[in-house]
A and B are shown apart, each in its own frame.
Chain A
Amino acid sequence: MPSADRPLILGARMKAAELLGADFYLLGVFSRLGIRLGFGEATVGELCEGNGIDTSTFLTLCRIHLVRDYIPSEEEIAKLDMGVCLKYLKQSHSYYRTIGLTALGKAMSNLLAPCGEKQKKVIRRFYDEYHAELEKHFAFEEEHIFPYAEAIASGKEPLGNFEKEFEEDHSNIGEKIGDLKNIVMKYLPAECGDQEIQQVLLLLCFLENDLERHTAIEERVLVPRISRGDTGNGE
């Protein structure tokens, strides 16, 4: 495993396990692209090839997870396989809906169970509003952004214009989850149990980071790729 005295060097020839071990948030990239664990000593290149995934696109997605302010170069964007990106983004939505948000909603209910009616209502309402906003945003992307990207990838004429609304939405959603995290960390009623608070906080932090990466991939990979407007398919 890499450590401070052995720098991590990303590339097709590195061991896939070393890449995943460097940052477990990458588990999302692996699983959403359908890469099963148990890959032994396979290199990143071998693993991608075996799974029919363009290695360069896979590495771009990983870099955005590993390096917070990473902005892919124009060549990187040009080489990108839109299909891989879209698969990652769609599978992320499906993960949030079926696992991430479900777990968080349950943990919130456990957390608020011992609270007074008034407090329960206030916090729950904030959470539910956040959840609804997120759902709305996902639906917007699925109805407008993803088909737009698919149209471009297959050389068709896309409809509409999207970028402005898209980015405003992202920043609102980011602020709300930050607020929720602060409320859970700092201002919950004394009745709430420590274990329950920690559980919610863990899920929140994980979701926040995951959503940030998801947004970064949309804004720094998908949007520039769409703006190029050509039909490159990873070649």
Chain B
Amino acid sequence: MVLIESSAIVAKGLGCIFSEMGEFRLGAVLDDLSHSSILRLRQMDADVVILDPSVLGASSRASGRNLISEHSDAACVALLTGPSDEDTIRSFDATISLMDSPAAIVRKLRSTLEGRDEGSKPDSGDLSSREKEILICVAKGMLNKEIADLYNISIYTVITHRKNITRKTGIKTVAGLTVYALLNNLIDINSVE
């Protein structure tokens, strides 16, 4: 495994985590992606390359992953130490962040090598038709039990739907959800007066 990281603190820290956890071995730490670093990368023949995109200048950040795949077949994992761009991240096989636990880091690397990207896809954000139905009931002031009976589903399913509605819309209160439903023409103002 090769790490490309310019912060000595982060590089040493990650090295310690790997030696404590076993399973992965940090073969080399490069602090940039200069010509000599790339030569070194080619010689290493690593399974995984961990690249901190902030090592690269803002203009070359998006191409960092491509540069690595030109010179190595390794899986490429982004180490996020600062704000980064969605497009940049998408080009990587996985991402690890400074706040990940050692176990999480190892787990992510393992599943990357097994070819499964464990990062679940973000959902489209639109409410499903069932979620809309439930939202309408909530906006009308129905209780979870009443909604469960109406659709013949368990109260836990209703709660899960409500959690998903809140996650997607960012709206937590019943009054706020009612405003959402009204603005999106899911209900008529007369039905909540």
Residues of A participating in the B interface, judged by any CB pair closer than 8 Å: 118-119, 121-123, 126, 129, 172, 175-176, 178-180, 182-183, 186-189
Residue in A118, A126, A178 whose CB lies within 8 Å of B175: A126
A179 touches B184 (CB 8 A): no
| A182: nearest chain-B partner, CB-CB | B170
A129→B178 CA distance, assembly (Å): 13
A179→B170 CA distance, assembly (Å): 7
Residue in B169, B176, B182, B184 whose CB lies within 8 Å of A176: B176
Q: A119-B183, A126-B179 are in contact. Are A175 and B189 (CB under 8 A)?
A: no
A189→B179 CA distance, assembly (Å): 12
B residues near A176, Cβ cutoff 8 Å: 173, 175-176
B residues near A183, Cβ cutoff 8 Å: 171, 176, 179-180, 183
A189→B185 CA distance, assembly (Å): 11
B189 touches A178 (CB 8 A): no
A169→B190 CA distance, assembly (Å): 29
20 extra A-B contacts, CB within 8 A, seeds A122-B183, A126-B179, A182-B170: A118-B182, A121-B189, A122-B178, A122-B179, A122-B182, A122-B189, A126-B175, A126-B178, A175-B173, A176-B173, A178-B170, A179-B170, A179-B176, A182-B176, A183-B171, A183-B176, A183-B180, A187-B180, A188-B183, A189-B183
* A-B CB contact pairs (8 Å), 16 listed: A118-B189, A119-B183, A122-B178, A122-B182, A126-B176, A175-B176, A176-B173, A178-B170, A179-B170, A179-B171, A179-B173, A180-B176, A182-B170, A183-B180, A183-B183, A187-B179
A residues near B163, Cβ cutoff 8 Å: none
A178→B179 CA distance, assembly (Å): 13
Q: How far is the CB of A7 from chain B (nearest CB, A)?
A: 14
Check if B172 is an interface residue, CB within 8 A of chain A.
yes
Q: How far is the CB of B191 from chain A (nearest CB, A)?
A: 12
A residues near B171, Cβ cutoff 8 Å: 179, 182-183
A176→B172 CA distance, assembly (Å): 8
| A179: nearest chain-B partner, CB-CB | B176
Q: How large is the interface on B (under 10, 10 to 19, 20 to 34, 35 or more residues)?
A: 10 to 19
B residues near A122, Cβ cutoff 8 Å: 178-179, 182-183, 189
A143→B182 CA distance, assembly (Å): 37
A residues near B183, Cβ cutoff 8 Å: 119, 122-123, 183, 187-189
B175 touches A129 (CB 8 A): yes
| B82: nearest chain-A partner, CB-CB | A4
Q: Which residues B54-109 have CB closer than 8 A to chain A? A: none
Q: A118-B189, A122-B189 are in contact. Are A175 and B172 (CB under 8 A)?
A: yes
B residues near A129, Cβ cutoff 8 Å: 175
A197→B29 CA distance, assembly (Å): 48
Q: A121-B189, A122-B183 are in contact. Are A186 and B170 (CB under 8 A)?
A: yes
| B170: nearest chain-A partner, CB-CB | A182
| B175: nearest chain-A partner, CB-CB | A126
| A129: nearest chain-B partner, CB-CB | B175
A175→B182 CA distance, assembly (Å): 19
B residues near A186, Cβ cutoff 8 Å: 169-170
| B169: nearest chain-A partner, CB-CB | A182
B173 touches A187 (CB 8 A): no
A119→B189 CA distance, assembly (Å): 9
Q: How far is the CB of A79 from chain B (nearest CB, A)?
A: 33
Q: How far is the CB of B163 from chain A (nearest CB, A)?
A: 14
A residues near B184, Cβ cutoff 8 Å: 187
Q: How far is the CB of A175 from chain B (nearest CB, A)?
A: 5
A189→B176 CA distance, assembly (Å): 15
Q: Which residues B147-193 have CB closer than 8 A to chain A? A: 169-173, 175-176, 178-180, 182-184, 189
B residues near A187, Cβ cutoff 8 Å: 179-180, 183-184
| B189: nearest chain-A partner, CB-CB | A118
